[in-house]
């Protein structure tokens, strides 16, 4: 039997990064003025591995642990929109094939680790059943 390893991309493939950015801003309680300024930065940096989480933690003077807790709680309320269409079905189909699969993603460790935690939570997976590698190389 042929066994393959299937590599999946996370941002804008499995995970709706734009929706996630909205969840971050909502969870960390940006003011209207902060929201306008941050949205301009996000638009300018789209697709460039901008560390929005780090930027927002600095802006709001929030530590990583607190940010994670707020974001994980808020993400549950957006479970329908954080996954790209068809992702749950794709993962279920891959589970049926017997092939191995995992995620390769690029960005800062803290930012990508939190995204992976949210993604795994939404899919009912853990690190073993949905392995991932974070790289700084694009």
pLDDT single digits (tens) 51-95: 999 999 999 999 999 999 999 999 988 888 999 999 999 999 999
Identify the band that residue 123 occupies on the pLDDT scale cut at 50, 70 and 90. very high
71 is written with which tokens? 């974001």
- What whole-number distance in Å separates Cα of residue 120 and Cα of residue 102? 11
Looking at residue 128, its pLDDT comes to 96
pLDDT above 70: residue 1:
no
pLDDT at position 137, please?
65
Task: Report yes or no: 10 and 119 within 8 Å, Cβ to Cβ.
Answer: yes
Q: Which residues contact 47 (CB under 8 A, 6 or more apart)?
A: none
pLDDT confidence of residue 48: 78
Would you state the structure tokens that stand for residue 133, as one six-digit string?
Answer: 């590698």
Q: Note whether 115 and 56 are within 8 A (CB).
A: no
Residue linked to tokens 């301009």:
40
Residue 49, pLDDT above cutoff 80: no
Token pair of 1, please? 């039997």
């Amino acid at each position: 039997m042929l066994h393959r390893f299937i590599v999946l991309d996370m941002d804008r493939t499995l995970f709706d990064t734009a929706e996630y950015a909205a969840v971050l801003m909502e969870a960390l309680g940006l003011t209207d003025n902060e929201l306008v300024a941050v949205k301009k930065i996000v638009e300018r940096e789209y697709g460039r591995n901008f560390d929005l989480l780090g930027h927002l933690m600095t802006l709001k003077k929030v530590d990583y642990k607190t940010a994670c807790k707020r974001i994980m709680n808020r993400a549950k309320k957006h479970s329908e929109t954080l996954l790209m269409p068809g992702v749950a079905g794709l993962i279920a189909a891959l589970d049926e094939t017997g092939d191995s699969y995992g995620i390769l993603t690029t960005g800062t460790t803290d930012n990508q680790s939190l995204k992976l935690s949210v993604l795994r939570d939404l899919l009912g997976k853990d690190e073993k059943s949905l392995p991932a590698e974070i790289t700084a190389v694009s």
